[in-house]
């Protein structure tokens, strides 16, 4: 096969892959077509990689190394794909870390390969951007995964002058990149650039609390995409540039949506140390709460006409989504209207609750976004809060001194009655008391969400349901 014919095949495969990547993002906008979107993305990547291997730039002697890389990647990737849904956020962060590491390694290799006279100004610019973005994405994503897995404390880790030090590290890294662009042969600066980028990734995520992890994951996704764009320019690969741009843009848009959902700015997310537990808030005088048994809760919902369930991270930790489906079935059998109120930042990543509920085959039409459900909350008979905390805290609307003041929340306090399932009265990631739980209309049902909701479903089915 002639090189010209092989190049034509490459360009056609890149065109097909580009179209499939675009459709993949489009189809993943809704759960109804999300599976089609995933399949489209897989085929796009397969066709893109296949076309690249066929291309004239790939030497035959490189094929065994490519095959070895695929095998090693499969050995690592297949076990990582088999994680519970509760671990999907940290699994996603690890994917970003691998993408950033790949970009940093390719950039480093290309710099030293081109050091003998092949480094142009543009190539050095692209290499510097690739290594800087790839390095900070790698270590930043590892930090995010560590916080989500609670290997690293989820609370913000701060110290005096932290932001100044962070800016100095970032400024020094950018300075090294500019110096290399001016004189690409100052090779002693390249390892410094790499080390500074890795250090900045750690320092960037260190002061960010668990409450901001959904936004951080989306932002790191954007960084990974931008590093892929830079890598595409380095390798002169059009598909890599396009795929990276799509990834970077979608991550940035998602970050903006997350910030809007929390009424926060990027500056506040990255440098505000939101989620830092206030000792005064936690150790202050505890207001009295009223508790109930799962049977009491089941009796209340059985008498209702409209029930709204608000899932949170507690449901994910307890893996209670299938028990929630059983409860849903029991209520709908009684012709009780049941809807699920979904807050954009509930859980540890965007769409976390949607994924969990989809696994339990909850009908998509019964999942309602926050803005829409809030309009009808005053007509709801019973709200069942399962493991959610800050996203239902009325302090966001009423207390100007609260760290979450101004954050849009689900108006659970407007319902006629509130049931809240929690293990204890410990605060959420914002580290503040939830005023919803001390309202006169609220009953707390303490215990593991999976066991408690299961007992509610059993009580409705007539099998009983003990107190916890």
pLDDT digits (tens, 9 = 90+) for 112-154: 999 888 888 999 999 999 999 999 999 999 998 888 887 888 7
Question: Out of 24-33, 166-175, 327-336, which region has the weakest mean confidence (pLDDT)?
Answer: 24-33
Q: For the residues 410-428, what does the mean pLDDT come to?
A: 86
Report, as an integer, the average pLDDT of 227-251: 90
Report the range of poorest mean pLDDT among 49-58, 192-201, 276-285.
276-285
- Structural domain of residue 179, as residue ranges? 91-276
For residue 467, tell me if it sits in a domain.
Answer: no
CA distances from 89 to 147, 191, 351, 405 (A): 11, 31, 10, 26
Give me the mean pLDDT over the 329-335 stretch: 94
Asked whether residue 182 is assigned to any structural domain, the reply reads yes
Enumerate the active-site residues: 390
Q: Which single residue is written with the structure tokens 């919803």?
A: 436
Q: Are residues 350 and 292 in the same domain?
A: yes
Q: Which of 276, 300, 316 is the last residue of a domain?
A: 276
Residue at a domain's end among 82, 111, 126: 82
**What average pLDDT does this structure show over 165-184?**
93
Tokens of 190: 């390249």
Better-predicted residue by pLDDT, 82 or 308: 308
At residue 92, does pLDDT exceed 60? yes
Contact between 419 and 383 under an 8 Å Cβ cutoff? The reply is: yes
Most confident of 77-91, 177-191, 199-213, 252-266: 177-191
Tell me what the mean pLDDT of segment 302-322 comes to.
91
Asked if the model's pLDDT at residue 447 lies above 60, the reply is yes
Q: Which of 245, 276, 307 is the last residue of a domain?
A: 276
Q: How confident is the model at residue 162 (pLDDT cuts 50, 70, 90)?
A: confident
Q: Report d(CA 277, CA 280) in Å as an integer.
A: 9
Asked if residue 357 is part of any domain, the answer here is: yes
Contact 280/432 with Cβ under 8 angstroms? no
Q: Which of 360-364, 391-395, 404-408 has the lowest mean pLDDT?
A: 404-408
Same domain assignment for residues 69 and 199: no
Tell whether the model's pLDDT for residue 158 goes beyond 60. Answer: yes
Is residue 328 very low, low, confident or very high in pLDDT (cuts 50, 70, 90)? very high
Q: Are 387 and 318 in contact (CB under 8 A)?
A: yes
pLDDT at 429 over 60: no
Over the stretch 258-310, which tens digit does the pLDDT of each residue have?
A: 777 766 666 666 665 544 444 444 444 567 788 899 999 999 999 999 999 99
DSSP 15-53: HHHHHHHHHHHHHTTSHHHHHHHHHHHHHHHHHHHHHHH
The answer to whether residues 259 and 148 belong to one domain is yes
**What pLDDT score does 468 carry?**
39
**Average pLDDT of every residue of the chain:** 86
Strands 417-422 and 337-342: unpaired
Considering the domain architecture, whether residues 100 and 226 belong to the same structural domain is answered as yes
If asked whether residues 72 and 102 sit together in one domain, one would say no
Is residue 76 domain-shared with residue 97, that is, in the same domain? no
Does 122 or 390 have the greater pLDDT score? 122
On whether both 228 and 353 belong to a single domain, the answer is no
Asked whether the predicted pLDDT for residue 467 surpasses 50, the reply is: no
In a domain, 468, yes or no: no
The CATH number that applies at residue 408 is 3.40.50.1220
pLDDT tens-place string over residues 337-384? 999 999 887 877 777 888 888 888 898 889 998 889 999 999 999 999
Categorize the per-residue pLDDT at 17 as very low, low, confident or very high, splitting at 50, 70 and 90: very high
Q: Are 267 and 308 part of one and the same domain?
A: no
**Helix 213-235 / helix 88-113 crossing angle, nearest 10 deg:** 30
Q: Is residue 135 located within the same domain as residue 48? A: no
Average pLDDT over residues 174-186: 93
Asked whether residue 103 falls in the same domain as residue 78, the answer is no
Helices and strands (H, E) in the chain, number of each type: 18, 6
Domain count along the chain: 3
First to last CA, the chain: 72
Residues 331 and 418 in one domain: yes
Whether 67 and 109 share a structural domain: no
Mean pLDDT (whole number) for 423-440: 75
Structure tokens at 417: 């009655």
What is the model's pLDDT at position 280?
A: 42
Share above pLDDT 90 across residues of the chain, in percent, rounded to a whole number: 44
Residue 81 — very low, low, confident or very high, per pLDDT cuts 50/70/90? confident
Q: What's the confidence (pLDDT) of residue 140?
A: 93
Predicted pLDDT of residue 428: 58
């Amino acid at each position: 096969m002639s090189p010209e014919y092989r190049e034509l095949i490459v360009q056609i495969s890149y065109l097909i892959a580009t179209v499939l990547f675009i459709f993949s993002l489009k189809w993943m906008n809704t759960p109804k077509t999300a599976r089609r979107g995933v399949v489209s993305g897989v085929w796009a990547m397969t066709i893109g990689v296949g076309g690249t291997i066929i291309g004239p730039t790939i030497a035959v002697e490189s094929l065994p190394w490519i095959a070895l890389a695929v095998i090693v990647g499969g050995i690592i990737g297949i076990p990582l794909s088999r994680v519970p849904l509760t671990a999907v956020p940290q699994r996603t962060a690890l994917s970003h870390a691998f993408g950033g590491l790949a970009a940093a390694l390719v950039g480093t290799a290309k710099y030293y390969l081109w050091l003998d006279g092949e480094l142009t100004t543009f190539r050095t610019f692209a290499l510097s951007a690739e290594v800087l973005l790839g390095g900070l994405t790698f270590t930043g994503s590892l930090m995010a995964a560590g916080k989500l897995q609670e290997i690293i404390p989820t609370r913000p880790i701060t110290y005096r002058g932290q932001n100044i030090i962070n800016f100095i590290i970032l400024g020094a890294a950018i300075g090294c990149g500019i110096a290399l662009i001016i004189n690409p042969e100052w090779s002693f600066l390249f390892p410094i650039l790499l080390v500074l980028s890795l250090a900045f990734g750690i320092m960037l995520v260190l002061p960010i609390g668990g409450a901001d992890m959904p936004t951080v994951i989306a932002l790191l996704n954007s960084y990974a995409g931008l590093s892929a764009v830079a890598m595409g320019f380095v390798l002169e690969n059009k598909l890599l540039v396009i795929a990276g741009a799509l990834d970077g843009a979608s991550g940035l848009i998602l970050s903006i949506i997350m910030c809007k959902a929390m009424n926060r700015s990027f500056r506040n997310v990255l440098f505000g140390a939101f989620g830092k537990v206030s000792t005064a808030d936690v150790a202050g005088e505890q207001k009295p709460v009223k508790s109930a048994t799962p049977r009491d809760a089941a009796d209340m919902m059985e008498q209702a006409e409209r029930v709204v369930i608000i899932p949170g991270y507690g449901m994910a930790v307890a893996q209670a989504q299938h028990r929630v489906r059983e409860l849903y079935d029991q209520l709908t059998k009684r012709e009780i209207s049941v809807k699920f109120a979904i807050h954009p930042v509930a859980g540890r990543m965007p769409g976390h609750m949607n994924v969990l509920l989809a696994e339990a085959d909850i009908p998509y039409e019964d999942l309602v976004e926050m803005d829409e459900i809030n309009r009808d909350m005053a007509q709801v008979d019973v709200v069942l809060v399962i493991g959610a905390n800050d996203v239902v805290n009325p302090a966001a609307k009423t207390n100007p001194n609260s760290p979450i003041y101004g954050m849009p929340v689900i108006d659970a306090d407007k319902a006629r009655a509130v049931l809240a399932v929690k293990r204890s009265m410990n605060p959420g990631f914002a580290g503040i008391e939830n005023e919803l739980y001390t309202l006169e209309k609220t009953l707390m049902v303490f215990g593991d969400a999976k066991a408690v909701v299961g007992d509610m479903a059993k009580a409705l089915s007539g099998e009983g349901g003990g107190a916890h």
